[in-house]
Structure 1
């Protein structure tokens, strides 16, 4: 469960994760605060405060008018909360009243005041969180003055609601500000990720501007240093290989001239073929090196039309290649790199098999499109699939029977794999059922900055 949660969280960017963390912590803090406020409102001290507040009119009347029955009659006529009765309320016994209520009234400054419980269906709002009660006191003429508090739900709840709304209105801009600051802090990390992907596609991608927090700055400096070192390494390798290729062409040319004038008889054809092998190997190696420095130009590609053109070209050369799908599929990639990768795959298929089939598929769920090339040749064992996608690696059976003019030098699949990777695609090789090889070229169908 934890691993699945981690995987789900990992599908979101760092900005979304930090934003969710900030919003979540703010909401949690406010929930705890509101809960604590509600808890305090039900504590004994809060109850006592509410009871004294509700009892204050009765206590004030007794202090001012307690010795004058006539004034009590006038009060009853003007304030409907007060009544005069001939006998004490039926429930005017303290044990039947809430313990906090009895203790609070018992601490009042006016003696002779008793509390009694009101019916549970009395019009009593829930805001005070106090048991419905009334107060009674015997007047000098023997009658009982009854006081029934009438809590105002608005006056009791509005202060708390206003407090919660004020805190919420204050917290909302702070929350938005926190999310914006968090996004601003992680922006260099997002740019570093984009620069890494850009460098993977284009070796000549510009260096990043050094900005952000100290750790991010150090990471950007290290990335720029690594990028420059890789550029120098690739340039040095390409220049070295180009120099070697140039230097080798001169003796190869002299050997060809001497071969033309030499009388070697039957040995002339094998020597000429070996020289052709050397020249082709130099050309393929130089072409492989130049591919690393070619810039990537992403655009929308009609894969169906591209594959149909490639199939027609192979058929014009006499190869048995067919196109099995006609639905239009558009993907995002580099047109030249995709054509070269497909040509390498088709050449590999017709070289080792008599026929090949091309299909174009779309996967809306993963936002990808695939070019699938299948053949019925000898195929590649599963444990050697990654091996043959490395430069100059060939299957042992192919290398042992290589005549030099047919099977190449182990660069076709390696070049196709590299060309697909440079445009954020992929080359996957697998066994074809029941026999042969299944090569899948995968490209994305939408731009996502990767």
Structure 2
């Protein structure tokens, strides 16, 4: 009876990390068969729900692009005045939000599992940041390898760094290992977030200051997407006060 339970534990762990897990073969005692059937049914329902969500977001994003394109064409024919500038700003904001939806959908689409060299991935992201505008320091305890979907992991880290650079001038990145987990700590010297709102920022479209977020070009989905990606890889994201005065975001991933 132990072997079917081991298989169930392995498949459940695999599926919980967002990886493709096959349906379990039903075998063993009555209780184990019932448990296996329940798991298979749950797996089917979750996969169906995720597909429906992805299809819905993809459809909405596609449908919104058509009227948005028409608005851009009509706007180009208008004379330059304050009204045109306001409309251009609104369309730019709508486009940014739409791109976030598309990014969210892409996070749900299949991507090949591969080995990820985290040090190199983070260094590549940081190379694209304006180091003349931001003071960025990177610390790596050692070479760290993990497995997962490289583009998704990159998107999750990029979103967090984008948040930091919107409000801060100094960013510290520390990458370390403890037992079978790696930790990516991103600290900044920005205004920070009240502790009571730490969980709120992971909710879709949540904003502390809507007017400020619009000026910064935020859609309210960045942190939601990041946590969704990291949790699908068996990790999590936690927030805490930063030692340099702003916010500290810690990503943990299994290795």
State the partner residue of 1:422: 232
Please, which of 43, 49, 52 is the counterpart of residue 233 of structure 1?
49
Distance of 2:254 and 2:20 partners within structure 1: 23
Please, which of 187, 199, 212 is the counterpart of residue 374 of structure 1?
187
Alpha carbons 2:8, 2:24 under 8 Å: kept: yes
1:333 aligns with 2:144: no
Distance of 2:80 and 2:192 partners within structure 1: 39
Alpha carbons 2:107, 2:152 under 8 Å: kept: no
String of CA shifts for 1:397-417, please: whole Å, max 9, x gaps: 2x233335x241122112221
Secondary structure of the 1:314 match is: coil
Q: Structure 1 residues 241, 416: closer, same or farther in 2, change over 3 A?
A: closer
State the partner residue of 2:199: 386
Greater than 4 Å deviation, 4+ residue runs: none
State the partner residue of 1:189: 5
Structure 1: runs of 5 or more not aligned: 1-184, 446-450
CA RMSD of aligned residues (A): 2.2
Alpha carbons 2:97, 2:219 under 8 Å: kept: yes
State the partner residue of 1:311: 126
User: How high is the TM-score relative to the length of structure 2?
Assistant: 0.89
Alpha carbons 1:203, 1:292 under 8 Å: kept: no
State the partner residue of 1:437: 247
Q: Any residues of structure 2 matched to 1:48-447 within 5 Å, and which?
A: 185-202=1-18, 204-263=20-79, 265-295=81-111, 297-299=113-115, 301-315=116-130, 318-334=132-148, 335-363=150-178, 366-395=179-208, 397=209, 399-404=210-215, 406-433=216-243, 435-445=245-255
Q: Which protein has the larger Cα radius of gyration, Structure 1 or Structure 2?
A: 1
Secondary structure of the 1:388 match is: helix
Q: Structure 1 residues 191, 428: closer, same or farther in 2, change over 3 A?
A: same
Distance of 2:217 and 2:6 partners within structure 1: 45
Structure 2: runs of 5 or more not aligned: none
Distance of 1:319 and 1:338 partners within structure 2: 25
String of CA shifts for 1:103-122, please: whole Å, max 9, x gaps: xxxxxxxxxxxxxxxxxxxx
Distance of 1:221 and 1:200 partners within structure 2: 17
Distance of 1:333 and 1:203 partners within structure 2: 11
Alpha carbons 1:370, 1:440 under 8 Å: kept: yes
String of CA shifts for 1:143-186, please: whole Å, max 9, x gaps: xxxxxxxxxxxxxxxxxxxxxxxxxxxxxxxxxxxxxxxxxx02
User: How high is the TM-score relative to the length of structure 1?
Assistant: 0.53
Distance of 1:371 and 1:322 partners within structure 2: 14
Distance of 1:290 and 1:200 partners within structure 2: 19
Q: Which has the higher contact order (CA 8 A, sep 6+)?
A: 2
String of CA shifts for 1:65-99, please: whole Å, max 9, x gaps: xxxxxxxxxxxxxxxxxxxxxxxxxxxxxxxxxxx
Q: Structure 1 residues 305, 290: closer, same or farther in 2, change over 3 A?
A: closer
Distance of 1:431 and 1:296 partners within structure 2: 35
> CA offset at residue 374 of structure 1?
0.7
